[in-house]
Amino acid sequence: MTFLSYMRLLSAGVVAANLAAMPALAGDIKRVNFSAGQRLSFVLPDTGDASKKARGPVLAGLTALAGQGTLTQVYNFAVDEVLIGEHQPQALSLYAWSSADDARQARASEHYKSELASLMPATWSEVHTVEVDLVEPLTLELDSDKTYTLALAWIRSEAMFEGYAALSAPLREVLGAKPLINLPVGYFAQMGLDEADSPDRLVLMEWRHESHPEAYRTSALIQENAEVVGQAFEKIQWYRLAHGGNN
């Protein structure tokens, strides 16, 4: 059952990549409640040069395998702009497992290992999956009038990271930046790699206006403290998101 749940996740990810460019209704707010112990899964697919023709049968195969399970689809975004980093995904799909154990059991399934490994390359050129574990209940509100960013941080120094966070906090406050999720990464996978270089932290941030993430990135404060940023982070992937369809 848990394997089929994971197949549903990837099946929906194909749909999300196609639907993410569809606009959400103005003023629409989605509110989702999560329990402590749940695992949130952020899937970032890039179709790249993968054959569009191949996606039809792959989607059909995944849908046929999907069944009732412990995984739910939460929200779809388009990746509107890569603010920092090399990975160029086209969409971000957010899902929730009932627990980290369910996610691990799905990936340990022999069916998953034998079937999915051969299906994924025909659908995507690259997929990053990043998961975090909730240690306390969370109410997530996503407002179609607001802008959101997702940051993946490879931290070089925890002390310098805390210093950077304190230094930049007043600027984020001025720009109306509100952290919705700020948690250590519990699982990271990159398609085609047995061992991927995992980020240390995932941050989902809400902003009052779509121009504010870029204003933050190019601000005098950040530019003048580039050395602090370099000491805090080994690498950053930072995406500006747009509300997708099918939410």
What angle, 0 to 180 degrees and rounded to 10, lies between the N-to-C axes of helices 2-19 and 100-108?
Answer: 100
Instruction: Report the alpha-carbon distance of residue 107 to residue 103 in Å, rounded.
Output: 6
Topology annotation, domain 144-243: Alpha-Beta Plaits (3.30.70)
Chain region(s) in the chain for CATH 3.30.70.100: 144-243
Pair of tokens at residue 150: 């997702």
Q: What is the CATH number of domain 2-74+92-133?
A: 3.30.70
What pLDDT is recorded for position 3? 38
Comparison of pLDDT for 181 and 104, the residue scoring more: 181
Q: What is the pLDDT of residues 30-76, one digit of tens each?
A: 999 999 999 999 999 886 655 555 555 555 444 444 444 577 889 99
- Separation of alpha carbons 171 and 81, rounded Å: 21
Q: Which of 209, 208, 158, 200 is nearest to 182 (CA)?
A: 200
DSSP secondary structure letter of residue 24: P
pLDDT per residue over 67-84, tens digit each?
A: 445 778 899 999 999 999
* Exposed e or buried b per residue across 156-168, where buried means at least 16 C-beta atoms within 10 angstroms of its C-beta: eeeebbeebeeeb
